[in-house]
Amino acid sequence: MKDIVPDLRVEQIKRLASSGKRLDGRGLEQFRDIEIQKNVLGSAEGSARIKLGKTDIIVGIKVGMGQPYSNKPDHGMLATSVELKPIAHHSFDQNTTKPMSIEISRVVDRGIRESGMIDLKSLCLESGKKCWMVNLDIMVLDFDGNLIDASTIGSLIALSGTNVPASNFGMGKDFSLPIGDMPVSTTFVKIGEHILIDPTGVEEAVADARLTITTDASGNLRAMQKGLSGALYYEDVTKAIEHSIKTGKDIREIIQRRD
């Protein structure tokens, strides 16, 4: 996403958008194909590989034991990280991608946490002393935009297939991670006048503003994040919310069909 995109390309994207089209043939409100593989790794307690167009990520979950945070003594712990490794794009290197990876992981984490999808209270073993610690690690293998949505979808898939290895720790039988209502994020960019869902790498590179909206099964808002140094108008936001609720439903169906 650090590519220098020539002005001509920007003009082309805008011209296409004016007639409702995009470089890869999609409509402005059309999500890319989502390819899902579940439980792809034997070493992880949960895992998934997700391809969103040419964006390709792998999510691995390790569950261990830890000590609850002092301000949440009755909760288990969830830690989310996104690694934008240099394998995924020629412009990625450890130093420059750090703010980007932190923002993505925090937005993904916020959606999962705020939706109450994981009942963290049920993961406390002894108040203030001992709890289950869920490490959700997202590795980007190939980058073509919209990492927030790819990561969210991958995380939902991986979490919903996660086994808590209680027997390894002498804590009784293994059990499935208790999963509730799932949050689904959809991300938009604004380019010129136009709002495009699920942006590719090139679209993100030329975008003025980005907006992520995370909704729950009831169509309510759970998390939002504006990014990039352009502005949105209120109408842009309400339009995006409307699309997000609609598209979120479709994505949720795909995820759950796979269970």
Contact track, other proteins, 161-190, x by CB under 8 A: ------------------------------
Give the residue, chosen from 22, 32, 75, 194, that forms a contact with other proteins under the rule CB under 8 A.
32
∠ CA 211-216-217, rounded to 5°: 135
Give the residue, chosen from 9, 29, 125, 192, that forms a contact with other proteins under the rule CB under 8 A.
29
Q: Is 47 among the residues that bind other proteins (CB under 8 A)?
A: yes
Give 19 or 229: the residue with its C-beta nearer to other proteins. Answer: 229
Amino acid occupying residue 28? L
Rounded Cα–Cα distance for residues 77 and 71 (Å): 12
Residue with tokens 């890869």: 24
Q: Is 25 among the residues that bind other proteins (CB under 8 A)?
A: no
Beta bridge partners of 47: 60
Rounded Cα–Cα distance for residues 106 and 185 (Å): 13
Q: Is 19 among the residues that bind other proteins (CB under 8 A)?
A: no
Give 13 or 88: the residue with its C-beta nearer to other proteins. Answer: 88
Q: Is 251 among the residues that bind other proteins (CB under 8 A)?
A: yes
Rounded Cα–Cα distance for residues 151 and 108 (Å): 7
Give the residue, chosen from 5, 9, 65, 142, that forms a contact with other proteins under the rule CB under 8 A.
142
Rounded Cα–Cα distance for residues 163 and 174 (Å): 7
Task: Work out the burial of residue 113: count CB atoms within 10 Å of its CB; fewer than 13 is exposed, 13-18 middle, 19 or more buried.
Answer: middle
Q: Is 154 among the residues that bind other proteins (CB under 8 A)?
A: no
Q: How far is CA 88 from CA 57, 93, 143, in A?
A: 9, 10, 5
Contact track, other proteins, 71-110, x by CB under 8 A: ----------x-x-xxxxxx-----x-xx--xx-xx---x
Q: Of 221-250, which residues contact other proteins (CB under 8 A)?
A: 221-234, 236-238, 241-242, 245-247, 250
Instruction: Please count the residues of this chain forming the interface with other proteins, following the rule CB under 8 A.
Output: 78
Paired tokens of 1? 């996403």
Give 13 or 251: the residue with its C-beta nearer to other proteins. Answer: 251
Q: How far is CA 143 from CA 13, 86, 107, 222, 258, in A?
A: 19, 10, 18, 26, 24
Q: Is 23 among the residues that bind other proteins (CB under 8 A)?
A: no
Paired tokens of 155? 């995380």
**Smallest distance, Å, CB 165 to other proteins?**
9
Give the residue, chosen from 13, 108, 144, 161, that forms a contact with other proteins under the rule CB under 8 A.
144
**Smallest distance, Å, CB 180 to other proteins?**
13
